[in-house]
Chain A
Amino acid sequence: MVDLLKGYNVEKLKSENLRLLLTYSFASLSSHIHAWLISSMGDGMAALVSEMLIVGICLIAFLVPLCFFLGYMERKVAAFMQLRLGPNRVGPKGSLQIVADTVKLLFKEGLTPTASDKFLFNLAPIIVVVTSMLVMAPIAFAKDLQIWDLSIGVLYVTSISSIAVIGILMAGWSSYNKYSLLGAMRSGAQIVSYELSIGLSILSVIVLTGSLKMSDIVMSQSNGWWIFKGHLPMWISFVIFIIASTAEINRAPFDLTEAEQELTAGFHTEYSGMKFAMFLLSEYINLFVVSAIAATLFLGGWMPFHIGHWELFNHIMDFIPSSIWFMGKTLFIIFIIMQFRWTFPRLRVDQLLTLEWKYLLPISMVNILLATLIAIMGWHF
């Protein structure tokens, strides 16, 4: 608790944040496991490796069901919006459909085109999965439940997630297929362009919090989420963040990279079997990560819904566990992004670039100045 308060306005927070003690902290659990490992194995490599093993197993045990769930949710949301039933045969309400699909993909032959660059072709899916795994590190899943709470958390997320474009370009180039190459080039231009708007809308939150650390950003929202505290500029940057991150993860209406009618399947045209499944998996992990970042920056991450000094209301809200708050907000944003897919028609390349460079970028540049003005004058709550 005391460690978390470092770096932010400590006096102000201490008076306001005593009520946060109600929320269960995972710090006691993790420190308990840490102490137990060190006492049984000594303070050496063995304890470190077994700790890494525990975290790794927990992470994969979290991510795989999450991807299954997101795949199921996507198909159900699509069905819901088109007045269809969606998957309803395998398992209760069709919930095991994605598991069945994965097993099917596991038994499919992974083809490699004869003319392709075989090393890069096989490396690309691994790079894409590794980058989307690496981005998981600073995400605050619940109170004190973070893999690595590093001091430059948000900068780390933006920098690592931009590596994914290398994997996509690699996949497109090495496939020896015109569709793949065109899809990859489009994806490169798109991800690179929209990164600017994402960066600027993140910066407008950083200006208000004064810290890049995820836990500090969450703690700074203990008396209200930034989207409510920061007035209009926060709303604008939230909307820009959602639009730009939809483009960043290549989802419809920005799915030019895999526009079926033009490019077959875009950069993963030549991929099949498990290698294709890896691209699908990383797409869902990226969707989760982007929504989690949006929830952390604008909707308070794991922070319960607090209103100023309504002590009783805040106490009642604290009884809902922090992980439920986090997952609820994240799934809400994921739901919005999934709805986009069936609401808007796909953009053309020129429209896509016009939207970014002539609208979103100037707007977010002006918006960050407004946010700075609010931060300096102390107009936020």
Chain B
Amino acid sequence: MGSSALILLTICGIAFAGGGILLSRVLAKRSANVVKGEPYECGIPTTGTSWIQFHVGYYLFALIFLVFDVELVFMYPWAVVVQKIGMSAFIEIIIFMFILFMGLLYAWKKGALKWM
């Protein structure tokens, strides 16, 4: 199959998940109750909003990830042709990796990789 596989698999997934959920909606017994709609915690109503602020560390890691992920995307085409090009591609990737590694060391030194 060609690219129609994408359409097929998307439809398959939606039909499978949606079908299951709809079937259970038809089959399952339902009852209305205010308590059922409360957030699942220890039994006491939740204090304040549940959409709380979270730790800034998550953002830091996301930022470092972006840098390295773009690097990874650059390396895919390189990896396909490296055997044809040979030694010069190897030397170039060493320079590329060196710069990246320095970036990682910088982030490390600045404490960006430390949790809390």
Contact = CB atoms under 8 A, between A and B. Distances in A.
Contacts of B4: 48, 52
Interface in B73-116: 75-76, 79-84, 86-87, 89-90, 93-94, 97, 100-101, 104, 108, 113-116
Interface string B17-28: 110110111011
Contacts of A196: 65, 68-69, 72
B79 A376 contact: no
Contacts of B115: 349-350, 353-354
A52 B82 CA distance: 37
Interface string A226-266: 00000000000000000000000000000000000000100
Interface residues of B, number: 72
B94 A369 contact: yes
A270 B38 CA distance: 10
Given A55-B8, A126-B18, A206-B80, A376 B101 contact: no
Interface in B36-61: 36-41, 46, 50-52, 54-55, 57-58, 61
B50 A362 contact: no
Interface string A290-304: 000000000000000
Contacts of B79: 203, 206-207
A106 B27 contact: yes
A273 B26 CA distance: 12
Contacts of B6: 134, 137, 148
Which of B37, B97, B114 has the most C-beta atoms of chain A within 10 angstroms of its own C-beta? B37
A264 B43 CA distance: 13
A126 B17 contact: yes
Contacts of B31: 109
Provide the main secondary structure of the chain B interface.
helix
B57 to A, nearest CB: 8
11 contacts: A59-B12, A111-B36, A114-B37, A134-B13, A148-B3, A195-B69, A196-B69, A199-B69, A357-B113, A373-B90, A376-B87
Nearest to A156: B6
Contacts, number: 213
B54 A182 contact: yes
A176 B90 contact: no
A115 B16 contact: no
Contacts of A176: 39, 50-51
Contact of B58 (A189, A207, A269): A189
Contact of B27 (A107, A122, A349): A107
A192 interface: yes
B53 to A, nearest CB: 10
A86 B23 CA distance: 30
A210 B31 CA distance: 59
Contact of B21 (A130, A177, A275): A275
A210 B81 contact: yes
Which of B10, B25, B80 has the most C-beta atoms of chain A within 10 angstroms of its own C-beta? B80
Nearest to B75: A203
Given A129-B16, A196-B72, A206-B79, 20 more contacts: A55-B8, A109-B30, A110-B28, A115-B39, A115-B50, A129-B17, A133-B12, A136-B9, A178-B52, A185-B54, A189-B57, A203-B72, A203-B79, A206-B76, A210-B80, A350-B116, A357-B61, A368-B75, A368-B97, A369-B94
Contacts of B81: 210
Interface string A142-165: 000001101000010000000000
